């Protein structure tokens, strides 16, 4: 694509590095910004810069936060449960359900030997030492993705916690609510039968 201006070309180049945004969309976004008041672009530009400059990761739970002491030690939380997730969006998703009020631990990825990611590249050591130093913790919920890498990570953590006497659970795999049985894949349907629960009318 031939651009009428070096400035536009550079902006398109940078915008199109973002995932899922191609050159055409990037050009549309750049031209959109040019039609908006100047402040719209300046606000966007400074929000991005400040995000990258000032973001912190909580040193306890590794959630993205504004300070190194995030709200994870909030007095209203149930400090006897830690939910282990892969990334910050998973924390938001679980919080949004309103069904969980415990602590979180963000691994920052999952064990994946194929991609060269070993246990030392994710925050598993930090999880174990956190649990060992805090005798309030009674349960660890593994909420990792239902893939080979997620399961490997779950097995690894379970093995490390075996001797500790802490209850290790995992979120239920099964038929999504509102979904028809006939469209479910065999593995999910099979697992929903082996891990069946008592029917309650609540």
Nearer to its own copies, 32 or 167 (CB): 32
Characterize the bridge pairing of strands 78-85 and 56-57. Answer: unpaired
CA distance 188 to 196: 12
For the chain, give the number of residues. 202
Q: Where are the beta strands (DSSP E) in the chain?
A: 56-57, 64-65, 78-85, 102-106, 139-142, 167-170
The answer to whether the CB of 111 falls within 8 A of the CB of 159 is: no
Nearer to its own copies, 68 or 125 (CB): 68
Say which residue the tokens 């349907």 belong to.
189
Nearer to its own copies, 19 or 178 (CB): 19
Q: State the residues that interact with its own copies by CB under 8 A.
A: 1-8, 10-11, 13-15, 17-20, 25, 27-34, 38, 40-55, 63-66, 70-71, 87-89, 91-92, 95-96
Nearer to its own copies, 52 or 196 (CB): 52
Nearer to its own copies, 29 or 189 (CB): 29
Question: What minimum distance in Å lies between the beta carbon of 159 and its own copies?
Answer: 28
Question: What minimum distance in Å lies between the beta carbon of 199 and its own copies?
Answer: 32
**Residue closest to 97 by CA, chosen among 79, 86, 83:** 83
Query: If you ran DSSP here, which 8-state letter would residue 63 be given?
Result: -
The answer to whether the CB of 107 falls within 8 A of the CB of 142 is: no
The half-sphere exposure of 130 on its side-chain side, counting CA atoms within 13 A, is 27
């Amino acid at each position: 694509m031939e651009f009428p201006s070096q400035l536009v070309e550079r902006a398109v180049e940078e915008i199109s590095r973002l995932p899922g945004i191609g050159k055409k969309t990037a050009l549309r976004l750049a031209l959109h910004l040019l039609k908006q008041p100047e402040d719209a672009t300046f606000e966007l530009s400074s929000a991005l810069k400040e995000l990258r400059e000032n973001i912190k990761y909580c040193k306890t739970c590794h959630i993205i936060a504004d300070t190194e002491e995030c709200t994870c030690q909030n007095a209203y939380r149930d400090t006897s449960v830690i939910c282990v997730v892969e990334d910050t969006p998973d924390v938001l998703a679980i919080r949004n359900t309103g069904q969980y009020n415990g602590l979180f631990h963000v691994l920052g990825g999952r064990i994946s030997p194929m991609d060269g990611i070993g246990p030392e590249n994710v925050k598993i050591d930090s999880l174990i030492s956190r649990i060992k130093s805090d005798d309030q913790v009674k349960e660890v919920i593994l909420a990792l993705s239902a893939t080979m890498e997620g399961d490997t990570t779950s097995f690894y953590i379970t093995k490390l916690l075996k001797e500790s006497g802490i209850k290790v659970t995992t979120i239920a795999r099964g038929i999504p609510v509102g979904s028809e049985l006939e469209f479910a894949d065999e593995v999910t349907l099979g697992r929903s039968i082996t891990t069946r629960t008592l029917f309650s009318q609540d």
